[in-house]
C-alpha cells in the first residue's frame, strides 16, 4: 500500500462503486412465485371449472403453483377491473370471457371500470364453449317446440335464470324470447352454478347454461337438455339439436369462450413465456380430455391473434346488444 494515499484509495473505491452500479442486476427467472388466475364468477361455474383444470396443467409447465381466485360480481367487471389495476409482473392474470371482453363494453357505458383493449395484454385463447338450453325435468317439456308452446300459453309466467345481468345467458334468453315472440321473466344470479341450481330446484323453469356447467346434471337427469346454441351439434350430446336447426331460430348462434389476459405493461418476455406454457398445456392429452368431457373445446392462439379476436368480438356483440335492446346502466 506504500505510495498510495488515502485520498487515492477513496477515489478508486468511488469509481469501483460506480462501475458496479452500472452492471445489470440479475433478475430471477419468471416465474419464481405462485401465479394467480382471477375468475370473475363464483366457484363451480364453467369459467371456474376450466380455470382450475388449466391452472393445474399450467403449473406443471411452469413448475410453479397456480392459484385460482374467485371475484364474482357485475358479470366479471369487478375481477377485470381488479386485474387491470394489478402489478403488471405476470403473477396476476385474468380468465377473460365473452362477457368481459365482448359483451360488457356495450352494456356498461358508465360503470365498466376497465378498458378491454388498452387495459390488458392478451396471452392466449383457452376454450370455445357452447350454451345449452336446459329445463327443469318436472316442466314436462321434451323439445324447444314444447317450451315455446308452454311459454305462449303462460305469458309472463315462465322464469329463465342467468349468471347475471348482461351475461351471455341473459342475452341468449333475450334473443330466444325475441325470435319466438315470447313474454318471459329474467332472473339473474351471481354465477352459472347458482343459475343452474335455480332450474333444478324449480325457482326458474329454464336457462341457457354453459355446456360444461350443466352437462353432468343433464347426464344425471336432473336437467333436460333441449338444444345447443352453436351452429352444429355438440359431440358430447349428439342427440340434442342445434337451436339454429329449428324453424323460427335460423342463424341463432351464441358461442362463449375463455382466454387468459395479463395487465397492460406486463413484459413481453413474460407474455411470451405464458403463451408458450398455455399452448403446451392446451395440447396436453389429459387437459384436452378433461375439457372435452366438460363440453368445452380446447383452443390455442398467439397474443396477436387473441388481440384481433377480442376486437372483432366487441364489434359483434355491440350489434347484438343493440338488437335486443338490453341496458344495464
Span 162-188, pLDDT tens digits: 988 888 899 999 999 999 999 999 999
Number of H helices, E strands in the chain: 11, 10
pLDDT at 324: 83
| Rounded-to-integer distance, Cα 22 and Cα 234, Å | 60
Is the pLDDT at 319 greater than 80? The verdict is yes
Domains 35-129+256-324 and 130-245 share a fold: yes
Kind of pairing between the strands at 206-210 and 159-162: parallel
Q: What is the reported pTM?
A: 0.78
pLDDT at 295: 81
Is the pLDDT at 285 greater than 70? The verdict is yes
pLDDT at 320: 86
What is the CATH superfamily name and number for domain 35-129+256-324?
Bordetella uptake gene, domain 1 (3.40.190.150)
Greatest CA span in the chain, whole angstroms?
Answer: 108
Question: Which cell numbers hold the place of 81?
Answer: 377491473
Q: What is the DSSP letter of 287?
A: H
Using alpha carbons, list the distances in angstroms from residue 10 to 23, 130, 242: 20, 72, 82
Give the up-direction half-sphere exposure of residue 118: CA atoms within 13 A in the CB hemisphere. Answer: 3
Span 12-29, pLDDT tens digits: 454 444 544 454 444 579
Q: What does the mean pLDDT of the chain come to? A: 90
Is the pLDDT at 327 greater than 90? The verdict is no
**Percentage of residues in the chain with pLDDT exceeding 90?**
69
- By CB atoms closer than 10 A (0-12, 13-18, 19+), residue 128 is middle
Higher pLDDT, 307 or 212: 307
pLDDT at 1: 44
Domain boundaries, the chain: 35-129+256-324, 130-245
- By CB atoms closer than 10 A (0-12, 13-18, 19+), residue 16 is exposed
| Rounded-to-integer distance, Cα 100 and Cα 161, Å | 19
Higher pLDDT, 132 or 328: 132
E-state strands within the chain: 35-39, 66-70, 92-97, 120-135, 159-162, 185-188, 206-210, 224-228, 255-263, 297-298
pLDDT at 212: 84
Question: Which cell numbers hold the place of 84?
Answer: 387491470
Among 215, 230, 237, 226, smallest CA distance to 148 is for 226
H helix runs in 4-103, sequence order: 6-22, 46-62, 77-84
Topology (CATH) of 130-245: D-Maltodextrin-Binding Protein; domain 2 (3.40.190)
Is the pLDDT at 10 greater than 70? The verdict is no
**Residue 162: count of CB within 10 angstroms of its CB:** 28
Is the pLDDT at 288 greater than 70? The verdict is yes
| Rounded-to-integer distance, Cα 189 and Cα 75, Å | 10
Question: Which cell numbers hold the place of 210?
Answer: 354453459
Using an 8 Å Cβ cutoff, are 69 and 37 in contact? yes
Span 189-233, pLDDT tens digits: 988 889 999 999 999 999 999 898 899 999 999 999 999 998 888
Using an 8 Å Cβ cutoff, are 159 and 203 in contact? yes
| Rounded-to-integer distance, Cα 71 and Cα 177, Å | 30
Amino acid at each position: 500500500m506504500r505510495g498510495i494515499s488515502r485520498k487515492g484509495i477513496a477515489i478508486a473505491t468511488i469509481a469501483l462503486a460506480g462501475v458496479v452500479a452500472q452492471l445489470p442486476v440479475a433478475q430471477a427467472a419468471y416465474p419464481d412465485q405462485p401465479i394467480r388466475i382471477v375468475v370473475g364468477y363464483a366457484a363451480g361455474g364453467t369459467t371456474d371449472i376450466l380455470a382450475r383444470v388449466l391452472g393445474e396443467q399450467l403449473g406443471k409447465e411452469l413448475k410453479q403453483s397456480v392459484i385460482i381466485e374467485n371475484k364474482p360480481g357485475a358479470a366479471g367487471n369487478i375481477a377485470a377491473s381488479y386485474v387491470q389495476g394489478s402489478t403488471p409482473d405476470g403473477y396476476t392474470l385474468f380468465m377473460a370471457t365473452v362477457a368481459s371482453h365482448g359483451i360488457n363494453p356495450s352494456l356498461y357505458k358508465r360503470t365498466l371500470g376497465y378498458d378491454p383493449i388498452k387495459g390488458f395484454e392478451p396471452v392466449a385463447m383457452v376454450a370455445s364453449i357452447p350454451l345449452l338450453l336446459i329445463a327443469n325435468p318436472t316442466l314436462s317439456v321434451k323439445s324447444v317446440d314444447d317450451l315455446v308452446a308452454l311459454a305462449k300459453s303462460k305469458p309472463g309466467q315462465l322464469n329463465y335464470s342467468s349468471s347475471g345481468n348482461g351475461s351471455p345467458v341473459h342475452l341468449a334468453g333475450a334473443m330466444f324470447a325475441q325470435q319466438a315472440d315470447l313474454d318471459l321473466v329474467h332472473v339473474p344470479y351471481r354465477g352459472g352454478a347458482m343459475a343452474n341450481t335455480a332450474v333444478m330446484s324449480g325457482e326458474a323453469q329454464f336457462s341457457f347454461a354453459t355446456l360444461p356447467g350443466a352437462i353432468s346434471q343433464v347426464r344425471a337427469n336432473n336437467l333436460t337438455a333441449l338444444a345447443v346454441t352453436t351452429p352444429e351439434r355438440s359431440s358430447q350430446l349428439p342427440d340434442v339439436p342445434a337451436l339454429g336447426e329449428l324453424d323460427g331460430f335460423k342463424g341463432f348462434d351464441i358461442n362463449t369462450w375463455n382466454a387468459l389476459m395479463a395487465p397492460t405493461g406486463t413484459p413481453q418476455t413474460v407474455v411470451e413465456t405464458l403463451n408458450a406454457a398455455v399452448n403446451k398445456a392446451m395440447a396436453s392429452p389429459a387437459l384436452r380430455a378433461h375439457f372435452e368431457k366438460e363440453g368445452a373445446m380446447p383452443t390455442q392462439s398467439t397474443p396477436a391473434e387473441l388481440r384481433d379476436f377480442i376486437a372483432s368480438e366487441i364489434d359483434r356483440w355491440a350489434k347484438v346488444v343493440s338488437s335486443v335492446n338490453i341496458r344495464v346502466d
